[in-house]
Structure 1
Amino acid sequence: MVGTVYLRPSPEAKPFIEVGAHVTEGHKVLLVEAMKTFNDIVAHKTGVITAILVEDAQPVEYGQPLMVIA
């Protein structure tokens, strides 16, 4: 396990993004916590989120797809 993915900035907050949301390149879409450090994960391109492939607080690995942007 590389880290833990978080889909929202805090447990009571709204998610950063939802399926159907339009994002632009560089838009923060989630966080990955590794070794007590939170890393912003940003959209690699402009498009629409068509799928979120992980659950909030799920362990993730290097290279694991997290979402689909079409």
Structure 2
Amino acid sequence: MKNKNPIIPFQEQIKIVNSNKYVDIAVSEEDTDKLIAWDKYKFDLIFKGDDWKGTPKWVRYEEEFSMRN
């Protein structure tokens, strides 16, 4: 987290997200490269903060993901 202390500890956050019936699995980010995560999990959706929207990195991910589906 970007120099912020979380109110809810990470392990509890994972439990909360995993308890949602619409979530197959919530995992910690092992690598910041989302394509590596996709290769491992083959996810349908990914959620990131809106501070990523429109950045060159995210535009590249959108292009790469569109070719993989």
Instruction: Name the TM-score, length of structure 2 as normaliser.
Output: 0.21
Instruction: Name the TM-score, length of structure 1 as normaliser.
Output: 0.21
Structure number with bigger Rg: 2
- Structure ranking higher in helix proportion: 2
- Structure ranking higher in strand proportion: 1
